[in-house]
Chains A and B, each alone.
Chain A
Amino acid sequence: MAVVDAGAPALADQPMAPRRRGWARGLEIVVPATVLGILAVACFLGPLVLPIPDPIGGNVLESYLPSFSPGHLLGTDPNGNDILARILHGGQSSLTVALAVNLLGLLVGGTLGALSGFAGGITDTVIMRLLDVLIAFPSLVLTLAVAQSLGPSQTNTILALAFFSVPAFARVSRAATLRLRELPFMAAAGLCGTPVRRVLLRHVAPNIAPQLITFAMLGMGIVIVIEGALSFLGLGIPPPAPSWGNMIAQGQQSLSATPMLVVWPSVALFVTVLAFNLLGESLRARWSRQ
């Protein structure tokens, strides 16, 4: 998880996708975007329209039903809850957490980074050093502290994870702003005496937005994986509320006997993260070509 975390900003600077013909390029974006769309619809609308049981409150006498049982397509968990329902509802929380964390990171980190890169000097130094402290701080300790003092919950998970997405976004944003600052039109804006806020909003923001959004796509995948890791350690979304991470954590307690309890949520996790990664990569390739 954190392995990819640190590398991502560097990765985001690297144009590398093989050059393809126009239609193939289109497909690279359309396919993962469609997959994500289907996933989102399934997770958020599926439970409303499909005849699927509740994710909690199952009959304990129907525990450990195997996959493809009548009425329970993917079987049931130890409490007799329908696994498909839990995966769909778990997807809601995974996607919500990932979206919220990246949005927070993008807005706060993006602003700090742009400000830092644009202003330079002492502002730059102060902001970047503060963020360096956060980067150097083991995320696990802070998340544990948040989870144990405020209690594990979706909101607290979002807050804790946002702390660590802010510096990453700030670095990307600062790097992009630095490159932008060298360009003639920025120099022109500076010469004309345009106020800083206006320059940041009118000139910097639209120009660094594509890179930040691209990074956010990769960030979505990373956050979903990390949220799972937190739940895996019992610090994320508390059961019986479903999340992919806590489903995997619960299933691995009896992995050899009931592997499907781990397999299904892992598949959901993998497909989603893969789609975000592919989309992020394709977007980046497209921007770097322009």
Chain B
Amino acid sequence: MTAVVDEGPPASLAARLVASPSLRLIGKRLLTAVPILLGVSVLSFWVLNLIPGNAAQQLLGAEATPEQVRALELRLGLDEPAVSRYLSWLGGALTGDLGASLVSDQPVTELLWSHLAVSGELVLLAFLISLGLAIPVALLAAYKPNSLFDRISMIVSISGLSVANYVLALLLVLVFAVQLAMFPAIGFVPLGESVGDNLRSLALPASAIAFPLFCFYTRFLRGDLVDQLQGEDYIVTARAKGIGPWQVLLRHAFRNSTFGLITVVGLNLGTLIGATVITEQIFALPGLGQLMLQAINSRDFVVVQACVVVFAVVAVGANLLADLLYAVLDPRIRYGSR
């Protein structure tokens, strides 16, 4: 990633956003998000229809008679053709009504909010932990490239990127919950009940998600910083002006690198909620991933559909944000390709 401007203060970012080409770009991108979301909802409805078995069968279990199943299907409205079910779903979704769970009859929007809160907090904590560690480590590593610290941090981070997160989660449980009994092995305590217990219950799952992110951000940021320190003219200028090495690193190189970092974080956010599925499973957290997995297993397709759309909105939104930032920050892309 190249530097944007020599000493770009945050104010100039806002100024850029207001500038007309950017606004037009935002509008254009927002418009493209609509067909994507529509496409996702059609695709998921179609795919869910491929899965054998339905909620009625699943609810009644292996011992149910065909008559019992048919009666329940009728009650749940599963006998209607897929297209008309999709259209009525879409009609509801556009007015903010995602229907009621086939299984529990609870309003889906309610379910989504309560589970989204858990996943949201988990992801937020994971970001805080990973960035909070990655930034100082990357700065120290970039301060003296190829130093012992740099080498060790690079070895740790590439190793960390090679650990499957389910293995890491199991390892954390084994050591910190079973052996040392420092953190609970499973479960979630809502923030409203006790802040301390809430953080304790999320410590292990958030760390399991944060560790690979930390490794990734460390490598990314350190690489970006080193490149800038070695190649960029403005760094040479700054050095020539007699500014100290830490000052150059923090004031100039790091400030520019944050833009790239923001883009990458935005891209990550899109898929991170999906990555929480296994973690939530291992730690028995009532998050969005678990809601979706449970709903798939019980063939509660109304809930699955809603989860898919939420995941898609987050992914598209994050991508959009990343794209926009990238475009705003790097003028060559903005004017070059379109």
Contacts of A255 in B (CB 8 A): 170, 173-174
Instruction: Choose among B51, B173, B275, B293 the residue that contacts A3 (Cβ–Cβ < 8 A).
Output: B275
8 A Cβ contacts from A100-136 to B = 120, 125, 129-130, 132-133, 135-136
8 A Cβ contacts from A10-66 to B = 10-11, 14-18
In the bound assembly, the distance between CA atoms of A273 and B168 in angstroms comes to 14
In the assembled complex, how far is the CB of residue A278 from the closest CB belonging to chain B, in whole angstroms? 6
Given A7-B264, A149-B50, does the pair A274, B159 have CB atoms closer than 8 Å?
yes
In the assembled complex, how far is the CB of residue A272 from the closest CB belonging to chain B, in whole angstroms? 8
Tell me which of A73-81, A140-148, A201-209 binds B: A140-148
* Per-position binary interface string of chain A over residues 223-243, scored 1 when its CB falls under 8 Å from any chain B CB and 0 otherwise: 001001100110000000000
In the bound assembly, the distance between CA atoms of A256 and B173 in angstroms comes to 10
In the bound assembly, the distance between CA atoms of A39 and B151 in angstroms comes to 26
Contacts of A232 in B (CB 8 A): 166, 278
In the bound assembly, the distance between CA atoms of A125 and B223 in angstroms comes to 32
Q: Which of A138, A149, A269 has the most CB of B within 10 A?
A: A138
Cβ-based interface call for B36 (8 A) = yes
Contact B271 A145 (CB under 8 A): no
In the assembled complex, how far is the CB of residue A261 from the closest CB belonging to chain B, in whole angstroms? 11
Contact B162 A7 (CB under 8 A): no
Contacts of A5 in B (CB 8 A): 271
Contact A248 B166 (CB under 8 A): yes
In the assembled complex, how far is the CB of residue A177 from the closest CB belonging to chain B, in whole angstroms? 11
Contact B274 A129 (CB under 8 A): no
Contacts of B336 in A (CB 8 A): 182
Contact B275 A269 (CB under 8 A): no
In the assembled complex, how far is the CB of residue A87 from the closest CB belonging to chain B, in whole angstroms? 14
Given A1-B275, A3-B216, A248-B167, does the pair A136, B315 have CB atoms closer than 8 Å?
yes
Please give the number of chain A residues whose Cβ is less than 8 angstroms from any Cβ of chain B in the complex. 54
Contacts of A130 in B (CB 8 A): 39
Cβ-based interface call for B302 (8 A) = no
In the assembled complex, how far is the CB of residue B128 from the closest CB belonging to chain A, in whole angstroms? 15
Please give the number of chain B residues whose Cβ is less than 8 angstroms from any Cβ of chain A in the complex. 69
In the assembled complex, how far is the CB of residue B23 from the closest CB belonging to chain A, in whole angstroms? 20
Contacts of B312 in A (CB 8 A): 136-138
Instruction: Choose among A6, A10, A132 the residue that contacts B36 (Cβ–Cβ < 8 A).
Output: A132
Instruction: Choose among B161, B227, B337 the residue that contacts A4 (Cβ–Cβ < 8 A).
Output: B161
8 A Cβ contacts from B112-164 to A = 145-146, 150, 154, 158-159, 161-164
Given A3-B271, A140-B277, A277-B158, does the pair A18, B220 have CB atoms closer than 8 Å?
no
In the assembled complex, how far is the CB of residue A133 from the closest CB belonging to chain B, in whole angstroms? 4
Given A15-B227, A274-B162, does the pair A252, B170 have CB atoms closer than 8 Å?
yes
Contact B268 A16 (CB under 8 A): no
Contact A141 B212 (CB under 8 A): no
Cβ-based interface call for B213 (8 A) = yes
In the bound assembly, the distance between CA atoms of A235 and B115 in angstroms comes to 24
Tell me which of B41-49, B94-102, B198-206 binds A: B41-49
Instruction: Choose among B51, B174, B178, B267 the residue that contacts A10 (Cβ–Cβ < 8 A).
Output: B267
Contacts of B278 in A (CB 8 A): 1, 229, 232-233
Contact B274 A273 (CB under 8 A): no
Cβ-based interface call for B35 (8 A) = yes
Given A16-B227, A229-B278, does the pair A221, B162 have CB atoms closer than 8 Å?
yes
Contacts of B158 in A (CB 8 A): 274, 277-278, 281
Contacts of B268 in A (CB 8 A): 3, 6-7
Cβ-based interface call for A262 (8 A) = yes
Q: Which residue of chain B is the closest to A225 with respect to CB atoms?
A: B164
Contact B164 A1 (CB under 8 A): yes
Given A4-B212, A140-B274, A274-B158, does the pair A148, B51 have CB atoms closer than 8 Å?
yes
**Can you show 24 pairs from A to B with CB atoms below 8 A apart?**
A3-B213, A3-B275, A6-B271, A10-B264, A16-B220, A18-B145, A18-B226, A130-B39, A133-B40, A136-B40, A138-B307, A141-B296, A144-B51, A148-B52, A182-B336, A225-B164, A248-B164, A248-B166, A252-B170, A255-B174, A259-B174, A266-B164, A270-B164, A273-B164
**Sample of 5 further A-B pairs with CB below 8 A, known A138-B311, A233-B281:** A140-B277, A140-B289, A141-B308, A225-B164, A266-B167
Nearest 5 CB-CB pairings of A with B: A16-B223, A133-B39, A274-B162, A273-B162, A136-B312
